[in-house]
Structure formats: C-alpha cells, structure tokens
Amino acid sequence: MLLQILIVALSAVLLPVSAHFELTYPTVRGFNEDKSGTGPCGGFDTPAADRTSVSTRSVAVALKMGHDEQAVQILLALGDNPGNNFNITLVPTFRQEGLGEFCLPDVPLPSNLGIIDGMKASLQVITNGDPKGGLYNVRPIPIHPSISCSCPFSVCRHHVHHWYDNSTHNV
C-alpha cells in the first residue's frame, strides 16, 4: 500500500505540466507553450489569413485553463496587422477559478468602433499564469454585421467556473 501511494505521489510530480491556458474559441492563431509568454501574440506575430468571423455585437470566448486560478483580460485590436495595438478592452481584468473549460458566451463589442463589414481585427487574451509575466493567445477575426451570433452552441456548453471582476489583479 505504501508503495502505491509513493508511486502516485511521484508520478504527479514527474508528469509534464499542462498548458497554462489556451484560447479554444475562436481557435488560437498558433500555440507553443514555450512561446506563450512572448507578447503580444504568444510568439505568433505574423498576420494570418485564416480568420474566424464574428458578429458586430459580441463574440464568444472559450478557454482551456491549466491553472486553478488566474487573472484574465480580453482585448481587441483593429486592423490586419495590429502589432502592439491591443488598446480596446473587451473584458477588464477578472479572476477566473477552476481547471479545464471556461467560457464567456457573449463578450460585447463596443458599438462606437466604426466597424464596417469585413473589418479585420484580432482578439487577444492575456493571463498572469506564468511567474515571469503574462501569457498571450491571439485570434484574427473579421467582423460582419450579417452574423447574428458568434457563439456556436457547442462552444459554451460547459461554463461552470467562477469568475470575478477584480481590477486589482495585474495581468
């Protein structure tokens, strides 16, 4: 019995660490655990042609969380190649608790952005899940008024984790 307990304890320590977090919807542009701490796009800074279309009203944001507690912030940059211009706050910094799937099914887009049909933008999610600084995931998106909902039903079927507005957390 003692041997079984020791094996379980050692395997928990020796197992590789899972991802800090990953943007699962809209699907992240690219993911590399070793580069996720590189801003502004987690090491994937070249503009991508592959984009997920969203409505002018809101976008669903689904994440896979690898830490049981993180500060999270969701930003937007307009244009094809945003660089560091993620200057539109969609969701101010909040504390998210719980491992696994986390979803915000209806993140509103500000109505005063002057969005035109097909306008290119990029969604950025930042967390403080790394002791060296922020972690970044980005997804390029075109915005279309003809899309009524940016959230396929299956995306946010499990959004049971807790989140709190907490502007004192730094991302």
CATH number at residue 117: 2.70.50
CB 74 within 8 A of CB 88: no
Q: What is the tens place of the pLDDT at every residue in 9-48?
A: 333 333 334 458 888 877 777 777 787 778 887 778 777 7
Beta bridge partners of 119: 143
Q: Grade residue 89 by pLDDT with cuts at 50, 70 and 90.
A: very high
Burial-class residue 19 by CB neighbours within 10 Å (0-12, 13-18, 19+). middle
Strands 162-165 and 88-97: antiparallel
Whether 8 maps to a domain, the answer reads: no
91, with CB counted inside 10 A (0-12, 13-18, 19+), is: middle
Calculate what percentage of the chain has a pLDDT beyond 90.
11
Residue 8 has pLDDT above 70, yes or no: no
Q: Per residue in 96-114, pLDDT tens?
A: 888 888 888 888 989 898 8
CA atoms of 81 and 22, how far apart (whole Å): 21
Range of the domain at 140: 18-165
5: in domain: no
Residue 3 belongs to some domain of the structure: no
Q: Residue 13's pLDDT is what?
A: 37
Flag whether 99 is in a domain: yes
- Domain count within the chain: 1
Give domain status of residue 4, yes or no: no
